[in-house]
Amino acid sequence: MNHPLLSILTPMYNESGGIDHFFQTLEQALEDVPVDYEIICVDDGSADDTLQQLRNHADRNPRIKVLALTRNFGKEAAMTAALDFARGDAVLPIDADLQDPPELIGQMVDQWLTGKYEVVYAKRASRKADSLMKRKTAQWFYRLFNKMSEIHIPENVGDFRLMDRKAVDAIKLLPEKDRFMKGLFCWPGFRHTVIEFDRQERAQGESKFNYWRLWNFALSGITSFSTFPIRVGTYLGLIVSFCAFVFAVVVIIKTLTTGVDVPGYASTMVVILFLGGIQLFFLGLLGEYVGRIYKEVKNRPIYLVAAKWGFDDDQTA
């Protein structure tokens, strides 16, 4: 009996300290799952010996396949490369830090094999492993994004999910260069279900995302999937114009009835600085959108592959 093929996708950047433990845990979890599988690891320009360790594991297990990118293109680009080379009937992204438990893969596959769902989300029921600040900012981001965007991202769902080949092929049709994968994964829709789990501490190493990078990541996600911020500028401009018109009427009436009133310096400076700040803010916001247009127009490739191991000779993205 032929089993369906599951492609496990794992971008890696400087994960040398945890690779052995990652494969040991993942392969053990896949032993009783009723699928054939391939593990596609993308080395995203690591500065340590991550690539050499991946090659060693690829020599040990022919199901492990390795892509080496020419430099560090970022996690979203590395995930895109893994998607492009995946051959599975379903794909499942998972991080190498093992905060998303491989033991959950069997339940996700079981839900998919029922034929009722094309996407199986793994939702974090608890984020105790994260700091209070990270939990709160994540909560604020999901709520803000879902209010402003036409698509809905499930709260506390990361990249760890199972997607049917139909969903993967739909995602591969999306051509944008500045990629926010959480949004792209959700954009096609399809029938889905949710499995909850408690997120664990990182098995090795530290997160590559500091708060500044997370802020830029959130800004990228919002501007990639919503024009609402620009629309806010339009509405705010109308409100300020209306208030200015009302104030002008009041000044005219007051001048005609009580004479000319010389306004104070402080109030004038407050108004000027307030309106100048609003203008600069929305000029910067407009620049975010123009910058994304600029990236799309250049049409540069999302990633470049330096070498690959374990793939068929004729297998390309």
Q: How far is CA 255 from CA 163, 213, 242, 262, in A?
A: 69, 53, 20, 10
| Residue 316 in domain | no
Total domains, the chain: 2
Q: Is 241 in a helix, a strand, or coil?
A: helix
CB distance 161 to 90 below 8 Å = no
Average pLDDT of the chain? 80
Same structural domain for residues 94 and 118?
A: yes
CB distance 120 to 90 below 8 Å = no
Angle between helices 211-225 and 132-148 (to 10 degrees): 10
Q: Give percent of the chain with pLDDT exceeding 90.
A: 15
Same structural domain for residues 64 and 198?
A: yes
Residue with more model confidence, 1 or 63: 63
| Residue 57 in domain | yes
Same structural domain for residues 70 and 144?
A: yes
| Residue 219 in domain | no
Same structural domain for residues 74 and 153?
A: yes
Residue 233 has pLDDT above 80, yes or no: no
Q: Which stretch of 136-145, 193-202, 205-214, 226-235 has the lowest confidence by average pLDDT?
A: 205-214
Taking only the tens place, the pLDDT of each residue in 100-154 is: 888 888 888 989 988 888 989 888 876 665 666 666 777 777 777 767 777 777 7
Q: Is 62 in a helix, a strand, or coil?
A: coil
Same structural domain for residues 86 and 207?
A: yes
Same structural domain for residues 205 and 248?
A: no
- Tell me the two tokens of residue 133: 């600040």
| Residue 31 in domain | yes
Residue 93 has pLDDT above 90, yes or no: yes
| Residue 218 in domain | no
Residue 99 has pLDDT above 90, yes or no: no
Same structural domain for residues 183 and 247?
A: no
* Confidence (pTM): 0.72
Q: Which stretch of 85-94, 183-192, 218-227, 280-289 has the lowest confidence by average pLDDT?
A: 218-227
- Average pLDDT rounded to a whole number, residues 15-19: 84
Q: Which range marks the domain in which residue 258 is found?
A: 228-298
Taking only the tens place, the pLDDT of each residue in 158-177 is: 788 899 999 999 988 888 88
Whole-number Å distance between alpha carbons of 40 and 38: 6
The contacts of residue 291 (CB under 8 Å, 6+ apart) are: none
Binning pLDDT at 50, 70 and 90, where does residue 178 land? confident
The contacts of residue 16 (CB under 8 Å, 6+ apart) are: 46, 48, 49, 50, 53
Residue 276 has pLDDT above 60, yes or no: yes
Q: How far is CA 208 from CA 15, 105, 124, 215, 268, in A?
A: 10, 24, 20, 13, 46
Same structural domain for residues 305 and 276?
A: no
Whole-number CA gyration radius for the chain:
25
**φ/ψ (deg, to 5) at 316:** -130, 170
